[in-house]
Structure 1
Amino acid sequence: MTQQLTIGERVAWYRHRRGISQEVLAGLVVRTPDWLGKVENNRIQLDRLSVIRSLAHALDVSIGDLIGEPTLLEWSNESGRRTVPALREALMDYRQLTPLLSAPADGEPPTLANLRSDVSEVWDAYQGSRFGFATRQLPLILSDALLAVRTCTGQERDEANALLALTYQGAAMVLGKLGESELAWMAADRGLAAAQQSGNNVIVGSLFRSVTHCLLSTGRYETAVQLVSDAAGFLETGLGAASPSYLSVYGTLFLTGAMAAARAEDRATAQTYLREAESAATRLGADANHMWTAFGPTNVAIHKVATAGELGDFQIASELGPQVDTSGLPTERRVRHDLEVARALTARNRTDEALAVVLEAEQMAPEQVRHHYMSRELVLGWVRGTRGRPSRSVADLAERLRVV
């Protein structure tokens, strides 16, 4: 119902539904009625999640309600015509939760080699921003992974649990990109349980990251910061002889924590976490993609830009962002950085440059740009802020993103 509204317009929509005045809502978020009026009329852009969270809390709605998530996953040749609902059914199938209620499986269980290949394929699709393909494959892989856990024994069962954990994590990451935060949480929670059964601390650390992402998506920023601190304490004992995968998972956890701290407006902790990540990246020595983390010095630089944006330091973000060479990173990371740069440029009234960045990102990953709240909000802001008709490029982009 509110897909074609800006965040500010959604604030007004929910405020009217709650039957409260601008004066009351402004007081609840410690702002002036004049500020809120400008927000609702698109004269002030809500470009910081910390502010959006405070409004969502005051209105008793989710952050997703205000940023317009989830969004409909478009059908494509890769997605087929059974997308998020099919994955939801797989996650909510009670027979998948315990062998006590499951009928004997038909056919042979998958080999671990085949399952490993399938899990790798869906993670590669995620990093390639092919969310439709990943969503289509995940229910099948999840079924195979659960069967493997039930039929394997000994060390093979440990590996099956690790692959099950990574399957759940892949589901959590994809669902997070689509704005399905509750389903993502369900997947991450089950993934962490499977990871603990695997006895592999690299897998456990990887799932800690997904749980942190889920906390971020629901606005639980302080809890996410605490989780990163606790998880890092758990992983520290293995740092002495850490493998590249271990270092990558450890460092990426701090990058996620830095974002959580920035959204909680905890500048000191954000900087501390960035330094910890940078130390791990220096020890790793170069950009890599162990455990699909895309971790290394470049990803640290990307997060310095992103945290600056979350803290409202748009001048810093607009200056640093274009200088980061992301060409060696997976598509998902490159496009996410581009959206951060576009946000910072827009905040500095450099709209033409921001539009060019978003258009380039769309060329690389149309699904990701379509489903990220930031790109939709940027384009809506450009449309609403134009006197008369928007430019053909902006109008066409708005139509492709289904926001007009």
Structure 2
Amino acid sequence: MDELPIGRRVAYWRGRRKMSQQVFADRLGKSKSWVDKIERGVRRLDKFSVLYEIADILQIDVQLLLGKDPERRTDTMNCIDQVEVEEIRAALERYDSISAYFDAKPDPPPLADMGKAVTHAWLTYQYGRYGMLTRALPKLLRDAQAADAAYGGEQARRAANLLGQVYQIASSVLRKLGESDLSWLAADRSIAVAQRADDQLLAGIATTRVCNALLAMGRPRSALELNVRIADRIELGGGTDNRADRLSVYGILLLQGAMAAARTGDTSTVVDLLAEASDAARELGSDQNHYWTSFGPTNVELHRAAAAVELGDGGRAVEIHRTRIVNLPFDAMLPERRAHHLLDQARAYSQMGDMANAGEMLLRGDRLAASEIRCRPIAHEVMSEVLRRTRGAPPSPIAELAEHMGVGV
């Protein structure tokens, strides 16, 4: 198995920690030239005492310096590590708006540039590139908070809207990666900001982020009630927004309500909410991405299958995929949505005891959006089950994916 030279691994983690060679050298008590030679492989790094000191400065396990290519590990290129979690936490705990009330307002980025950065972040999320997104989030949060604190008048609502979106992006990716408390904090912030942005639909989408975080924290009943209550408000609302926008937000609230109901085992409510969402999707006409919802007829069926999995009916979930989703433009959906569905199918096959197909779904999902499979705790649980219940040695593609995921064979 090919491995990066140790100097390259040092350079990789130094870059990940956003340290210049000079800063790293100063902390290590070495010269910049020494660091440069180590990273280029000109000088050998063979003293364990120095390796442990480097690992301590970089805040990583020394085995990462001695082990495999970081691109093959779950805690490197594709996912998030604890240092990055703390950087995001620090950014979420900033209060630029109240500071600006007492002091000089921060120097904000232009709103046009912020808008482009937020759009790029949404697309990074919807293409399942979670590691890239989490590394960009701290700066994006700081910039959006600075803009929200600094701009006034008409620009204030636009700045608040962008900050609300950044909080939602943060909430979504943190939930995927198992950071439920931080996900809830970001989602809660997004609701308050959406109200200042005077955007009912942004607040509606923020509600789904809060409910997803509540669901991840084991509070499905609260998530169900909040999703349904705000869906009713959105349906009755008389805003001047685009009808397609309102249908999309209304529909996604219903779908998330259905998922929460499934977690409680409330089958009749699941059926009712999916039927209402299906009506909204039919009126919308096709799969669209208003307010970054990916809402439409196909997404309704993806949630129908996911709800069956949550209800413990893997056979029903597989049937939905084979008889309903196959006739819809599934391949046109964004990678995160498709990979998420394939993960749900893996869970369904696992419930049925069909480990071969469960593994195949994981492999297919990995090819679409590796982070959706390699980084999510629920995917690790499925892979562990596949390995445990497979007789004899697992097929080599499964064993290799398990190694990428850090799940023991």
Instruction: Return the TM-score normalized by structure 1.
Output: 0.77
* Contact 1:82-1:136 at 8 Å conserved across structures: no
Q: How far off its partner does 1:349 sit?
A: 3.0
Q: For 1:78 and 1:262, how far apart are their aligned partners in 2?
A: 28
Deviation track 1:210-264 (CA, whole Å, cap 9, x = no partner) reads 1111111111011111101211232122268752122111100110000000001
1:354 to 344, 355, 358: 358
1:246 is paired with a residue of what secondary structure? Answer: helix
Report the counterpart of residue 89 of structure 1 in structure 2: 90
* Contact 1:168-1:188 at 8 Å conserved across structures: yes
Q: How far off its partner does 1:109 sit?
A: 1.9
2:331 is paired with a residue of what secondary structure? Answer: coil
Report the counterpart of residue 62 of structure 2 in structure 1: none
Report the counterpart of residue 382 of structure 1 in structure 2: 386
Q: How far off its partner does 1:79 sit?
A: 7.6
Report the counterpart of residue 335 of structure 1 in structure 2: 339
* Contact 1:308-1:316 at 8 Å conserved across structures: yes
1:312 is paired with a residue of what secondary structure? Answer: coil
- 1:268-307 to 2 correspondence within 5 Å? 268-307=268-307
Count the aligned residue pairs.
331
Residues 1:133 and 2:137 are matched in the alignment: no
* Contact 2:215-2:223 at 8 Å conserved across structures: yes
* Contact 2:309-2:344 at 8 Å conserved across structures: yes
Residues 1:182 and 2:186 are matched in the alignment: no
Q: How far off its partner does 1:115 sit?
A: 0.8
* Contact 1:287-1:298 at 8 Å conserved across structures: yes
Report the counterpart of residue 205 of structure 2 in structure 1: 206
Q: For 2:238 and 2:302, how far apart are their aligned partners in 1?
A: 24
Flag as ranges the 4+ runs of structure 1 deviating above 4 A: 77-82, 100-103, 239-242
Residues 1:371 and 2:375 are matched in the alignment: yes
Report the counterpart of residue 402 of structure 2 in structure 1: 398
Q: For 2:333 and 2:403, how far apart are their aligned partners in 1?
A: 29
Deviation track 1:347-379 (CA, whole Å, cap 9, x = no partner) reads 223322222221111111111101223321222
- 1:110-125 to 2 correspondence within 5 Å? 110-125=109-124
* Contact 1:125-1:131 at 8 Å conserved across structures: yes
Report the counterpart of residue 146 of structure 1 in structure 2: 145
Aligned residue type for 1:392: S
Deviation track 1:45-71 (CA, whole Å, cap 9, x = no partner) reads xxxxxxxxxxxxxxxxxxxxxxxxxxx
* Contact 1:75-1:81 at 8 Å conserved across structures: no
Q: For 1:274 and 1:152, how far apart are their aligned partners in 2?
A: 41
1:83 is paired with a residue of what secondary structure? Answer: helix
Q: For 1:87 and 1:375, how far apart are their aligned partners in 2?
A: 23
1:287 is paired with a residue of what secondary structure? Answer: coil
Instruction: Return the TM-score normalized by structure 2.
Output: 0.76
TM-aligned CA distance change 1:152 to 1:100, over 3 Å: closer
Deviation track 1:316-368 (CA, whole Å, cap 9, x = no partner) reads 11111244242111111101100111221222233222222211111111111
* Contact 1:79-1:132 at 8 Å conserved across structures: yes
Aligned residue type for 1:337: H
Report the counterpart of residue 245 of structure 1 in structure 2: 245
Aligned residue type for 1:261: A
Q: For 2:246 and 2:142, how far apart are their aligned partners in 1?
A: 28
Q: For 1:221 and 1:179, how far apart are their aligned partners in 2?
A: 16
Q: For 2:148 and 2:395, how far apart are their aligned partners in 1?
A: 55
Q: For 2:156 and 2:169, how far apart are their aligned partners in 1?
A: 20
Q: For 2:357 and 2:394, how far apart are their aligned partners in 1?
A: 16
Q: How far off its partner does 1:96 sit?
A: 3.4
* Contact 1:370-1:376 at 8 Å conserved across structures: yes
Q: For 2:217 and 2:401, how far apart are their aligned partners in 1?
A: 28
TM-aligned CA distance change 1:361 to 1:102, over 3 Å: farther
Q: For 1:293 and 1:146, how far apart are their aligned partners in 2?
A: 24
Q: For 1:74 and 1:206, how far apart are their aligned partners in 2?
A: 30
* Contact 2:312-2:351 at 8 Å conserved across structures: no
Report the counterpart of residue 319 of structure 1 in structure 2: 319
Report the counterpart of residue 229 of structure 2 in structure 1: 230
TM-aligned CA distance change 1:379 to 1:232, over 3 Å: same
Deviation track 1:69-93 (CA, whole Å, cap 9, x = no partner) reads xxx9632399899622211111123
Q: For 2:201 and 2:121, how far apart are their aligned partners in 1?
A: 19
Aligned-CA RMSD value: 2.3
Report the counterpart of residue 75 of structure 1 in structure 2: 76
Q: For 1:291 and 1:102, how far apart are their aligned partners in 2?
A: 34
Report the counterpart of residue 7 of structure 2 in structure 1: none
Q: Which has the larger radius of gyration?
A: 2
Q: For 2:342 and 2:395, how far apart are their aligned partners in 1?
A: 21
Aligned residue type for 2:295: F
Report the counterpart of residue 194 of structure 1 in structure 2: 193
Q: For 1:249 and 1:386, how far apart are their aligned partners in 2?
A: 42
